[in-house]
Structure 1
């Protein structure tokens, strides 16, 4: 079967790219090993935080602001609620590099940010108790994305522009010709002039078929929901949050529509092979124990574990993304290694991938995410 563009991976980045490419008039097919949205990758679990005063580096701020605009436009196009403006509280020691970067990003880009001491944080959010040397940096314009609903929204639009989405279709072989690419699944062979690889934890295997040895490490991650006092932690009064602590970096969400307080740990985790069955939440004692210790220290109001889930981080050595063209095949675009903080950017990354395929360049600044930094 012949297409203009094949997209491998119909998750967050791939589904977004599929929409922008099909919108441009390209005949597009998206191939996914599962049925998106699904629980095998990095986009499930209902919600993701979108922060603007970015603690991971100033180079992300312009991208995340563009991503925010695109999410809001997507809401209008699909008439779906995708974003909740809960605000985001970034908390940590005044000496925390993460907190210092949040403040620096806010200052450089003129972003709204309220700096609060530990007592002021507790006064505003009675469910939070901070050590005296911690501060809170509250971003009132940030909030929560409904991640699986975002996938469905891009899927809806991609299909409306004629994109084909082939589910349960893992790629078995991938070859490059001068005039395009051929991708084989179990029951079909696809040819196209251009290719986007956005396959999450399965990217190393596919990139190897393209002659690239990229340092990507899949990591098993867990997160959980806890029964909580809705007056303290309900989304009408409580914000999303990121805490930088000596024990690790934690993130969480208010209880949305009674779902419970959601909590995860950003760092740590266990290496895994995505081809193998991932250990279920609770098979390791630390799955719940680590999160419960955080709650006992910072939100000590009797939360009880409700249930937990797993997802996969695909890590680069520097924890920055890879968004680039193949160094030897400019008709192939690659998006990989989003290192646990990529979902919020998937709107603008999808647009950027489409730009790269259509013209070889994009107005979005993706220069920090080049492949050549690993050469």
Structure 2
């Protein structure tokens, strides 16, 4: 009999599992694959963490809490967890997202440098921004190594006594007021509480409880590039960055350990009819062209595609997260809909989820992510 069963042992689930075991809870982690893996949203090596947040100031306390926990995790392992590369957000002047970045920095007294296009191009020769661009540079932000983080949380959780059920598909869920039974292909697991953090497979799990959440899994791509002037894009010479344009949003990373400049497009993508099916990179004409065109326009004409990969976003209608108890189930919590900007918070969300499940006060309020805002769609 476990204290908590977790279905989906990826970013949020594995973090929550670790923090629960640190508090002495007996935990079972169930995953359809063997994390870290390439069938979810945590692969690809790196994720940005920003503190002055254009998606809304309500995210800032969670980002700062997550940052502290990433740094603590960094000290517990020989794996690399965080690199303070700094993060530059740039785009056209007057952009609402960028103005929110500036407002949240002022509200929370965060270091933020406002830069003209000329200043950006001079400091980082890898950029070639037009004169109408403006940038906001956070020197204390940087890169989280996502697969390393999941791998480290797994090792620490197992060391603390967590049981992992990998390559296991959930067949049915039975709940009572004080017990949850999860039936697998080869047996069943019972516990007092259940946490569902199944990413793109969330609705496949919640439908077993006759609940469908407002989620849209979307196929996304990201790519690595080589450049003739590779030194301009190396870690230490180039920051993490995000570009917010009038009609598109991109993000990227410096070349870390010779991997190449990494670029992805945050908006657009192809909705997945079947979350289990994910077309490979190159299945659509835009896979190779959209990020390459962006690189030539904003960085250098001699940049060439090195490698492309695919992953999934699981989007909510407002692109804010869902973290709440499932309706009608006082012992089932769901955390999902991280909409392509959730990984940076995984440490903080995992810690908060552990406290919610133990009925303790969390370090940060997650009230703005309640499911009730979508009542009409449930």
TM-score bracket for this pair, using the shorter chain length: over 0.9
1:86 aligned onto 2:116: no
Distance in 1 (CA, whole Å) between partners of 2:276 and 2:82 is 33
Deviation at 1:211, TM superposition (A): 3.4
- Once structures 1 and 2 are overlaid, which stretch shifts more, 43-52 or 320-329? 320-329
> Hey, what's the Cα distance between the residues in 2 that align with 1:4 and 1:208?
23
Deviation at 1:276, TM superposition (A): 3.7
In structure 2, how many angstroms separate the alpha carbons of the residues matched to 1:220 and 1:180? 36
CA distance in 2, matches of 1:307, 1:341: 22
In structure 1, distance between residues paired with 2:230 and 2:156: 35
How big is the shift at 1:363? 3.4
Partner of 1:299: 299
The aligned residue for residue 340 of structure 2 is: 340
Aligned to 2:76, what secondary structure does the other structure show?
helix
Matches within 5 A, 1:14-93: 14-93=13-92
Deviations 1:167-195 (A, max 9, x none): 10011111211221110111111111000
- Alpha-carbon distance between aligned partners in 1 of 2:256 and 2:358, rounded to the nearest angstrom: 39
What residue in structure 2 maps to residue 160 of structure 1? 159
- Secondary structure in 1 matching 2:194: strand
- The alignment partner of 2:170 has SS state of coil
Q: Which residue of 2 aligns with 1:181?
A: 180
Mapping 1:93-172, distance limit 5 Å: 93-172=92-171
Q: Tell me how far 1:327 sits from its aligned partner.
A: 3.3
Give the structure 2 partner of residue 212 of structure 1.
211
Report the CA distance between 1:246 and its aligned residue: 2.4
CA contact (8 A) 1:254 1:262 kept: yes
Note if contact 1:9-1:33 (Cα within 8 Å) is conserved in structure 2: yes
Alpha-carbon offset, residue 79 of structure 1: 3.6
Q: 2-side partners of 1:173 and 1:273: how far apart?
A: 22
**Separation in 1 of the partners of 2:176 and 2:292?**
53
* Structure 1 residues 246-325: aligned runs within 5 Å: 246-325=246-325
CA-CA distance at 1:33 after TM superposition: 0.2
Structure 2 residue matching 1:359: 3-state secondary structure: coil
1:230 has 2:230 as partner: yes
Q: Answer yes or no: is the 8 Å Cα contact 1:72–1:83 preserved in 2.
A: yes
CA contact (8 A) 2:66 2:346 kept: yes
How far, CA to CA, are the matches of 2:354 and 2:93 in structure 1?
41
CA distance in 1, matches of 2:267, 2:275: 22
**For the residues of structure 1 that align with 2:125 and 2:62, how far apart are their CA atoms?**
33
Work out the CA distance in 2 between the residues paired with 1:149 and 1:133: 38
**Greater Cα shift, 44-53 or 17-26:** 17-26
2:311 & 2:259 partners in 1: Cα distance?
Answer: 18
Normalization by structure 2: what TM-score? 0.97
Query: 1:8: which partner in 2?
Result: 7
Tell me the TM-score normalized by structure 1.
0.97
The CA distance in 1 between the partners of 2:360 and 2:143, in whole Å, is 32
Q: Is the 8 A contact 1:201 1:274 kept in 2?
A: no
Verify the 8 A CA contact 1:325 1:356 in the aligned structure 2. no
Counterpart of 2:352 in structure 1 is 352
CA positional deviation for 1:15:
0.1
Uncovered stretches (5+) of structure 2, i.e. residues with no partner = none
Aligned length: 374
